[in-house]
């Protein structure tokens, strides 16, 4: 990942409303949620939410598809993974203890369901 893409992704997430939206979509999984459902759950006005989703989308963090009169947004898990990987690069230059908690978190939520060989 390039520095500038990381900066725009971090900038997209560096906002209370947008971070809440992104986390909600992460929790919702790959099937995503319609914009209106996001607005209702987080109590955000439609036009404000639209601007937020547009910023997250331009940063590559969410995808959108139309389904009838709804537009479904979903977290882009690949982009999320790329960003976190970028932030972790070289994290162990002198401090291997940094990664241990992360491995624990990732393991707790994933390894049980889909173990890494």
Partner DNA sequence: TCCATATTTCACCGATAGATGAATTATATG
Partner DNA sequence: CATATAATTCATCTATCGGTGAAATATGGA
Question: Reduced to 3 states, what is the DSSP secondary structure of residue 73?
Answer: strand
Shortest Cβ 11–a copy of itself spacing (Å): 4
Pairing label, strands 33-34, 70-75 = antiparallel
CA distance 15 to 11: 8
In the complex, what is the shortest distance from the CB of residue 33 to a copy of itself, in angstroms, rounded to a whole number? 12
**Residue 87 touching a copy of itself (CB under 8 A):** yes
Contacts with a copy of itself, 8-47, as mask; x by CB under 8 A: x-xx-xxxx--xx--x--xxxxxx----------------
From 35-43, 46-54, 62-70, 74-82, give the range in contact with a copy of itself by CB under 8 A: 74-82
- Within a 10 A sphere around the Cβ of 70, how many other Cβ atoms? 13
Residue whose C-alpha is closest to residue 61's, from 91, 89, 24: 24
**Minimum CB distance to a copy of itself, residue 97 (Å):** 7
């Amino acid at each position: 990942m390039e520095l500038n893409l990381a900066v725009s992704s971090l900038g997209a997430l560096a906002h209370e409303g947008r971070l809440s939206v992104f986390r909600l979509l992460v929790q919702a999984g790959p099937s995503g949620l319609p914009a209106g459902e996001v607005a209702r759950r987080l109590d955000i006005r439609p036009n404000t939410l639209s601007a937020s989703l547009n910023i997250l989308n331009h940063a590559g963090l969410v995808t959108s598809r139309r389904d009838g009169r709804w537009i479904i947004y979903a977290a882009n898990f690949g982009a999320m993974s790329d960003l976190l990987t970028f932030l972790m690069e070289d994290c162990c230059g002198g401090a291997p203890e940094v990664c241990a908690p992360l491995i624990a978190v990732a393991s707790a939520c994933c390894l049980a369901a889909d173990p890494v060989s």
